[in-house]
Amino acid sequence: MDYRKFSDLGRYLFEEVGPRFRSSGVIEPVDLFMIFIWKANRAKTKTRDKLKKLASGSFAIATGRIAAALSATEDRKERLGILMRDWELRLPMASAILTVLYPDEFTVYDWRVCKMLSFPYKNSRFSARRWSEYESYKNAVLKSAPLGLSLRDSDRFLWGKSLWEDAQRDAQ
């Protein structure tokens, strides 16, 4: 195995993990864990342990059930509900997983991008209202980035702009 591919985790997730899932409906436990690292490295084991507990002690079983449930539905709202309602993940992590697996349909819900959009950052549980707010957030991401960018690149643009502005301010 060429381990260099893991040095650019985003590229690995979007060029290998997501396409593999979309073609097979399967995600390996290590790849789901890699998504946790990519989104929130500080919370990776806490997130894993929560899923293990909900699957009676096995992260591999949790991963298999998540993959099966997500691939069994075409409904975007239900996909988010599966992760947030059934697996008790919060919106930032749930949206990160779905963004890797379905990058044309989901974008990462992130505090930096919320700040750029002047959206209040909410880390609450799943509800019909939460879905509606997420859809508004997603539409704002597309509208706030340069025209012609994909949903994924719009998200990356706004995140990068936020990082740049913070670094500019903090470097003073």
SS3 sequence, the chain? CCHHHHHCHHHHHHHHHHHHHHHHCCCCHHHHHHHHHHHHHHHHHHHHHHHHHHCCCCHHHHHHHHHHHHHHCCCHHHHHHHHHHHCCCCHHHHHHHHHHHCCCCCCCCCHHHHHHHCCCCCCCCCCHHHHHHHHHHHHHHHHHCCCCCCHHHHHHHHHHHHHHHHHHHHCC
Mean predicted confidence (pLDDT) in 8-32: 97
What's the pLDDT at 22?
97
Mean predicted confidence (pLDDT) in 72-95: 96
pTM of the model: 0.94
Q: Which sequence spans correspond to the domains of the chain?
A: 3-170
What's the pLDDT at 120?
87
Decide if pLDDT at 10 tops 90: yes
pLDDT tens profile 148-167: 999 999 999 999 999 999 99
